[in-house]
Amino acid sequence: MPTADLVVVANRLPVDRVEGPDGEHLWRRSPGGLVTALEQVMHNLDGAWVGWGGKADLEVEPFEFDGTLLVPVKLSPADLRDYYEGFSNGTIWPLYHDVIAAPEFKRSWWDAYVRVNRRFAEAAAGAVAENGVVWVQDYQLQLVPQMLRELRPDITIGYFHHIPFPAYALFAQLPWRRQVLEGLLGADVVGFQRAADAGNFQRSIRRLLSYPTKGDTVQVPLIDDGSRTVIAKHYPISIDAQKFIELAKHPDVVARAKEIREQVGSEKLLLGVDRLDYTKGIRHRLKAYGELLHDERLTPEQATLVQVASPSRPGVEAYQDLRDEIEMMVARINGDYSSVENTAIRYLHQGYPREEMVALYLAADVMLVTALRDGMNLVAKEYVAVRTDSTGVLVLSEFAGAADELGSALLVNPHDIDGMKDTIIRALQMPEAEQARRMRTMRRKVLDKDVEKWGRAFLDDVERLRGKRLAP
Ligand code: GDG
């Protein structure tokens, strides 16, 4: 099998399997966030990507796609149930998002997680060239770094954690907490979104493993004396801002934004765009907006809420319950406050092409990002990037990683419904000069620190450690 100098390992491959016009199987680039983030990094380097192909039991040989070698990992329906929906999304996801939903600790899920992580590690070990680099992505694969280090002591390993890393008191609930920390510490560089996440990780290491930490580093003791330095620090992820700006200037997108505004018909448009996930604070947002209508501080003629809730993890029970709750709330609010002419909430449980998302961002006077906990939140950065005329207001949860960089947004605590209601009114009434001042500050940040810089900052640190390792 051909090998590559840089291998990315992620739960999913960056492609979807689709049917061609004659019933043949084709691969198409998938629109996900991680794919977009790494697209540029991978294009500039000659790399390979290890991941699941998106269909159960799919067995495909490694193949080349757009200059990248793709190495599919086979997952059975039982793997998907126990490793993916179970341990990844039923244990780790809620635990790491501050137990907004209750994590379930099931030993059979853990066993599957170990088994599947080993499969990914073996696939990556076979795809990486001698002294090469493997970059592991996210919480589904926390054991891969250590497994890889055992299989391939010659390589340098990076791991990036896209979601929050919880406070010690929460992480300590995990029955397999030590194994997870040791798994992650197999990497040379462990990257997080926020400084607070790296701090939580280091605290857990001191408490549970008693390894010394200093600044951005952890000293991992070696069996035969001495120690290995692991970098554990924050590298806030970003977007391809120029690509979003280009889209925002495209005449078709501009025309579509105008059309949306005309068709919605209200004076102002509030927008929410999220995967349908309990971490995103969609219920809190709906509650605040519904109460503003109830209190007659707003009417649907004055401000309509467009809420895109793209379908997510339908196989996990908590997501089915959340969908029911949200749809009940939307129906109640619309029933109580809409008129024949004006709908209060336009609720869209659908995925859209990127062009339509950008048109929505352009049409929105106020963007509501009210996550209860979020690693970063790229939607906030995308909204800021496309507002080239510096109008528009971003209402941003202080519990989203993006709040560290976008301090000029109107920051909210989404649990404080009264506070959120006042902030929505303030956003709707904000003078254009203040909008411009805030938006310009945020745009400078997003345009300057784009996803390419993120990838480079991470890989530069990996390269530095690789250089040290290879030095005689
Ligand atoms: C995880 C972390 C972290 C959404 N609906 C559609 C669509 N999207 C796009 C958005 C954005 C992306 O998906 C979502 O990114 P987020 O950052 O908001 O959230 P997660 O999916 O939870 O991602 C998060 C991220 O990883 C990266 O590290 O920021 O904190 O949870 O790009 O625009 N795109 C299209 N149609 C949709 O319907 N085309």
Atom in ligand 1 nearest the alpha carbon of residue 239: 32
Active site residue 79: no
Please check whether residues 211 and 106 belong to one and the same domain.
yes
Please check whether residues 184 and 294 belong to one and the same domain.
no
Please check whether residues 80 and 227 belong to one and the same domain.
yes
How many A from CA of 118 to the centre of ligand 1? 27
Atom in ligand 1 nearest the alpha carbon of residue 353: 39
For the chain, give the number of residues. 472
Atom in ligand 1 nearest the alpha carbon of residue 160: 28
Give the global pTM: 0.96
**Residue 322 Cβ contacting ligand 1 at under 6 Å:** no
Closest CA to 92 of 183, 157, 2, 3: 183
pLDDT given for residue 17 in this prediction: 87
Q: From the centroid of its chain, how far is CA 192?
A: 12
Q: How far apart are CA 247 and CA 387, in angstroms?
A: 11
Q: From the centroid of its chain, how far is CA 115?
A: 25
| Residue nearest atom 13 of ligand 1, based on CA coordinates | 33
- Number of H helices and number of E strands within the chain? 17, 18
pLDDT given for residue 210 in this prediction: 97
Torsion region of 223: left, alpha or beta (phi above 0 gives left; psi -120 to 50 gives alpha): alpha
pLDDT given for residue 470 in this prediction: 84
Please check whether residues 255 and 171 belong to one and the same domain.
no
Please check whether residues 440 and 419 belong to one and the same domain.
yes
| Residue nearest atom 18 of ligand 1, based on CA coordinates | 377
pLDDT given for residue 44 in this prediction: 64
Closest CA to 383 of 399, 408, 410, 365: 365
Select from 8, 34, 376, 399 the residue to mutate for testing ligand 1; criterion: most ligand atoms less than 8 Å from CB: 376
Cβ 194 vs Cβ 157: under 8 Å: no
- Which residue in the list 162, 188, 274, 461 is annotated as catalytic? 162
| Cα 274-360-397 angle, rounded to 5 deg | 40
Parent domain of 204: 4-237+452-470
Please check whether residues 64 and 79 belong to one and the same domain.
yes
Beta strands in 240-376 (DSSP E): 268-275, 303-310, 345-348, 366-369
**Residue 405 Cβ contacting ligand 1 at under 6 Å:** no
Query: Could you give the number of structural domains in the chain?
Result: 2
pLDDT given for residue 30 in this prediction: 81
Please check whether residues 325 and 256 belong to one and the same domain.
yes
Q: From the centroid of its chain, how far is CA 231?
A: 22
- Which residue in the list 188, 277, 374, 450 is annotated as catalytic? 374
Pairing of strands 217-221, 213-214: antiparallel
Cβ 83 vs Cβ 16: under 8 Å: no
Please check whether residues 150 and 275 belong to one and the same domain.
no
Please check whether residues 297 and 407 belong to one and the same domain.
yes
pLDDT given for residue 66 in this prediction: 84
Atom in ligand 1 nearest the alpha carbon of residue 377: 17
Active site residue 162: yes
pLDDT given for residue 29 in this prediction: 84
Ranges of residues in the chain with a pLDDT under 50 are: none
Tokens found for residue 398: 């202080």
| Residue nearest atom 9 of ligand 1, based on CA coordinates | 33
Please check whether residues 278 and 169 belong to one and the same domain.
no
Alpha helices in 295-353 (DSSP H): 317-337
| Residue nearest atom 39 of ligand 1, based on CA coordinates | 354
Please check whether residues 218 and 266 belong to one and the same domain.
no
Please check whether residues 296 and 316 belong to one and the same domain.
yes
Q: How far apart are CA 350 and CA 345, in angstroms?
A: 15
What is the CATH classification number for the domain harbouring 194? 3.40.50.2000
